[in-house]
Structure 1
Amino acid sequence: MMAPDQLGPALEIDARLTDIERGLDLLLNLTPVNAAEAWVDFERSDFATPPTLRLRPLEFEPDLVRRDLYDLAIEDVADPTLHTLFKAKRDEIARQITAMQDRDTSRFVHGSLQLYGGVTEPLAAAARELLEVIPVQAPATSTVTAGAFAEAAREELDRYRAVYPDFAAGIEVRGDVSELMVSFGRLLIPESAAFRLDRVEPLLHHEIGTHVVTYQNGAKQPLTLLTIGLPGYDETQEGLAVLAEYLTGGLDPRRLRVLAARVVAIGQMLDGAGFLAIFESLRTEHQMPARTAWSIAIRVVVAGGSVKDAIYLRGITHLLDALAAGGSLDALFVGKLALEHLPLVQDLLDREVLRPPWVRPRWLDVPGAQERLDKLRAGASVTDLYEGGAS
C-alpha cells in the first residue's frame, strides 16, 4: 500500500470533495417529502388532479459551496489518475449545486440531463420491446409493511456482520422519503410503503448487497470519494443492483416492465408530456396498476423533470455488454464507480493506492447465481433477462 504521505495533498482534496457532496445530499433533496399524502389526494380526485410535490428546503448556501469547491487546489495533485478523477468530480458537484438551485423550474431538466444523460433511441427501443414482449401481470397480492421489511433488512445486515464484524450500516423507517433508498450507507425505508412479499429478497440484494456493500468497501479505501461515488457512478451502480436481482432469481416480469416503463415515461416527459398524460399512458397503453403508474410518473416529473430513472435499464445494458466482452466484476466492488473508471481504478489497485474489495456481495454466491452469470458472459441483451413466466 502506498503510504499516505506519498499522496501529498490528494487525500485532503479527496476528503473535502466528499464533505462538500455529503453536505448537498442530492438524493434526499430531490425526494418529495409529501408523496404519501399526495397519493391519497390524487386517488380521491379520481386521478384527475395532478399532485403538488413538496421538496425540503436546501440547507446550504449554493454560492458559498461553489466558492469552497473552486478553492480546492486540484492543480497541486501531481498523480495524473487522481487529478483526472478529482477534476471530473468537482465538475459533477458543481452541476449538482446548479440542479438543486433550479428545482421546480423549467431549467431543472437540463441539469438532470447533464448529470444522468438522455434516452437514446436504442435504449428507448429496448424499453418498448420489453413492454411488448412481457405479458401484463396480474396485481400482486401478498405484501409486507415497512416495519416487516426493516426487520428483514436487519437480518440481512446480520448475515453480513457474521462474516464481516465491522460491517456498519443503519436502517431508518422515515415519513419524509417516498422510495426505498440508500443514502450515504444508510437504508431509508418509507414508513407508508408496502412491499411485495416476493420482492423482499431481491430488494435486499439490490439495496444492501449492492449499495451498502459498495459504500462499506469504499469506506475501507484511502479515497473517501469511493463512498459517495466517482463521477457518473450511478448508472453502473444501479446496473450492478439490477444484476444482483437477476442473479438471485428476483428480476421478475413485473420488475422488468417497471424498469422499461421508466424509460418510456422519461421519453414522454422530454417530449413535453405532463404528469397526468404520463400517468394515463402508463395505465392505459401499458396496463400498469394505478399505484405503480403513480410511482413511475412522480419520479419522472419531480423537481421539474428528472431523467435519472433511465440509468437502471441503461446501466444493466452496459454491464451486459461489459460481461460479454470478458469484463470482470471484481473491481466494481472496490467502491462506488462507473465502468468507464475501471482502467483508472485498476491503475490505483496495481500501484496499491487502493485495496482490493473488503466485502464480497452475498448475491454472487446464491445458488444458481454463477450459472446465470456464465449465461450472461456468453452474450445477452436486456430482453434476454425476461425468462418467461407471468401471473
Structure 2
Amino acid sequence: MTDVTALGPALAIDARLTELERQVDLLLNLTPVNAAEAWADFERSDFGAVPTLRLRPLEFEPDLVRRELYDLEVERVEDPALHTLLRTKRDEIARQITALEDRDTTRFVHGSLQLYGGVTPALVAAAEQLLATIPALSPSAPAVTAGAFAEAARGEFERYRAVYPDFPVHVDVRDDISELMVSFGRLLIPSNATFRADRVEPLLHHEVGTHVVTYQNGARQPLQLLTIGLPGYDETQEGLAVLAEYLTGGLDPRRLRVLAARVVAVHRMISGAGFLDIFESLRTEHRIPRRTAWIIAIRVVVAGGSAKDAIYLRGVSRLLEAFAEGVDLDALLVGKLALDHLPLVQDLLDRGVLQKPWIRPRWLETPGAPERLDRLRAGLSITDLYEGEKSA
C-alpha cells in the first residue's frame, strides 16, 4: 500500500489545480443569464429572429491563471499515473481558459471541439435512427415548478443523509441560470423552469444520484481533482447519469429523442448551420416541439458554438460497450473520471492511493435496476434503450 503522505508534491499540485478550475468555472460561465428574456423575444418575433444570449463577465484574469498553471512543477511528480493525470488536467484547464476568452467569436467552436470532441458518422446515424424510430409525442404529464422540484430534490438529499449522515445538502434556486445543473456538488435550479412531473425522479437520479454522489465520493479521496473531474470526464459522467435514468425505468422515449436531437444539432452546427437553421430543422425534420427545439438550439450555439451536447449520447454509447466488456461499476463511482482513466484509477486503487466509493447511488437499488444492469452487461446498443411506448 502506498503511503499517501509520500505523495506530497502531487497532492499540493492537485489541490491548486482544483482551486484554479473552480475559479475558471467553465459550466457557469457558458450558461446564458437571459434565457427567459431571449425566449420571450423569440416568441414575439414569431420565431424568426436570432436570439441574443448574454453571458456573465469573467471573474478571473485569464493570463494570471494561465501563468500560475504553468508555474506548477508537474515534472516533480515521480508517480507515473499521477504525473499523467496532473499534466493532462493542467492542459485541459488552459484550454478552458482559452475557450472562455474566445466566447462569442468564431474561434470558440474550435476550443469547444478540443474540450468535448466532435461527432462521428456512426453517432449521427444512431441519433437519426432514434429520431426516426421513436414517435414524436406531446407531453402528457403535468408540470411542476422550480420550487416544487427543489423540495423534491431536498427530499432526495435527505434520503442519502439517512444512510450517509455526513452527506451535505446544497440546493439553490437561482434566477441567473437557464438550465438545471450541478456545480461543484451544488444542485442549481433555474427559478423560472418547469419540469414534467414524470421526469422529476429520473432527473434526481441523474443530477443528485450521479453528479452529486460522484462529487461527494471524490471529496473523500486524497485527489481533489476527482471532485471537479479528471480530464475529459464529462462524456463518461453524463453517459453514466443517463444510464441511471435507464436503470430506474425513467429513460422515456421523449428523453431519448432529446438526446438524439442534441447530436444532430451539434452535427449541423459544426457543419456551419446557424441558430434558425438548427431550430427549424429540429422542428420540421425531426418533429421536436418548439420550446424543446429552442432549448436544444441555444445550448448548441451558445458562445459561438458548443459541441458539448453530443457527449450525452456518445457517453452512453461508450458505456454500453464498456458494460458489455465487464467494466467495474464501482471504479466509475470513485469520483468524476473518464473511461479512459480506468487503468490509472485501478492502479491507484490497487496501491491504496484511492479508496472504494463512500456512497452507493440509490439508483442501483430501485426496483428493476439489477435486471436492467444485467441487460446492459449482456450487450445493448443505443437503439436498444428504446423500449416502446409503455414508458411514455
Residues of 2 paired with 1:342 and 1:139: CA distance?
39
1:315 paired with 2:315, answer yes
SS of the residue aligned with 1:49? coil
Give, in angstroms, the shift of residue 138 of structure 1.
1.9
Equivalent positions of 1:111-190 (< 5 A) are 111-190=111-190
SS of the residue aligned with 2:98? helix
1:339 paired with 2:339, answer yes
Give, in angstroms, the shift of residue 314 of structure 1.
0.2
1:376 counterpart letter in structure 2: L
Equivalent positions of 1:345-384 (< 5 A) are 345-384=345-384
Q: 2:30 corresponds to which residue?
A: 30
CA RMSD for the aligned pairs? 0.9
1:216 paired with 2:213, answer no
Q: Are the equivalent residues in 2 in contact too, given 1:139–1:289 (CA < 8 A)?
A: no
Residues of 1 paired with 2:282 and 2:141: CA distance?
20
Q: Are the equivalent residues in 1 in contact too, given 2:180–2:188 (CA < 8 A)?
A: yes
2:172 counterpart letter in structure 1: E
Deviations 1:279-333 (A, max 9, x none): 1111111111111000000000000000000000000000000011111211000
SS of the residue aligned with 1:9? helix
Give, in angstroms, the shift of residue 50 of structure 1.
1.1
Segments of 5+ residues of structure 2 without an aligned counterpart are none
How many residues align? The count is 391
Give, in angstroms, the shift of residue 44 of structure 1.
1.2
Q: 1:268 corresponds to which residue?
A: 268
Residues of 1 paired with 2:141 and 2:5: CA distance?
58
Residues of 2 paired with 1:169 and 1:6: CA distance?
33
Residues of 2 paired with 1:354 and 1:298: CA distance?
39
Equivalent positions of 1:12-31 (< 5 A) are 12-31=12-31
2:205 counterpart letter in structure 1: H
Deviations 1:337-365 (A, max 9, x none): 00010010000000000110000000001
1:236 paired with 2:272, answer no
Residues of 1 paired with 2:9 and 2:140: CA distance?
54
Give, in angstroms, the shift of residue 141 of structure 1.
4.1
Deviations 1:41-65 (A, max 9, x none): 1111110111100000001111100
Segments of 5+ residues of structure 1 without an aligned counterpart are none
2:197 counterpart letter in structure 1: L
Residues of 1 paired with 2:174 and 2:304: CA distance?
24
Deviations 1:348-388 (A, max 9, x none): 00000011000000000101001001011111100000000
Q: 2:282 corresponds to which residue?
A: 282
Residues of 1 paired with 2:257 and 2:251: CA distance?
10
1:64 counterpart letter in structure 2: L
Q: 1:102 corresponds to which residue?
A: 102
Q: 1:201 corresponds to which residue?
A: 201
Deviations 1:141-199 (A, max 9, x none): 40000000000000000000000000013110001111100000000000010100000
Residues of 1 paired with 2:141 and 2:183: CA distance?
29
Q: Are the equivalent residues in 1 in contact too, given 2:141–2:198 (CA < 8 A)?
A: no
Q: 2:257 corresponds to which residue?
A: 257
Q: Are the equivalent residues in 1 in contact too, given 2:154–2:169 (CA < 8 A)?
A: no
1:13 counterpart letter in structure 2: I
Q: 2:60 corresponds to which residue?
A: 60
Residues of 1 paired with 2:207 and 2:2: CA distance?
32
2:375 counterpart letter in structure 1: K
Q: Are the equivalent residues in 1 in contact too, given 2:364–2:370 (CA < 8 A)?
A: yes
Give TM-score scaled by structure 1 length.
Answer: 0.99
Indicate the larger mover: 138-147 or 117-126: 138-147
Residues of 2 paired with 1:380 and 1:25: CA distance?
35
Q: 2:89 corresponds to which residue?
A: 89
SS of the residue aligned with 2:144? strand
SS of the residue aligned with 1:260? helix
Residues of 2 paired with 1:23 and 1:2: CA distance?
31
1:387 counterpart letter in structure 2: E
Q: 1:80 corresponds to which residue?
A: 80
Q: 1:296 corresponds to which residue?
A: 296
Give, in angstroms, the shift of residue 5 of structure 1.
2.3
Deviations 1:240-289 (A, max 9, x none): 00000000000000000000000000111111111011111111111111
1:152 counterpart letter in structure 2: A
Instruction: Classify 1:140/1:275 alpha carbon distance in 2 versus 1 (closer, same or farther; 3 Å).
Output: farther
**Identity between Structure 1 and Structure 2 (%):** 77
Deviations 1:55-96 (A, max 9, x none): 000011111001100000000001111001001001100100
Give, in angstroms, the shift of residue 140 of structure 1.
3.6
Residues of 2 paired with 1:326 and 1:21: CA distance?
33
Give TM-score scaled by structure 2 length.
Answer: 0.99
SS of the residue aligned with 2:389? coil
2:175 counterpart letter in structure 1: G
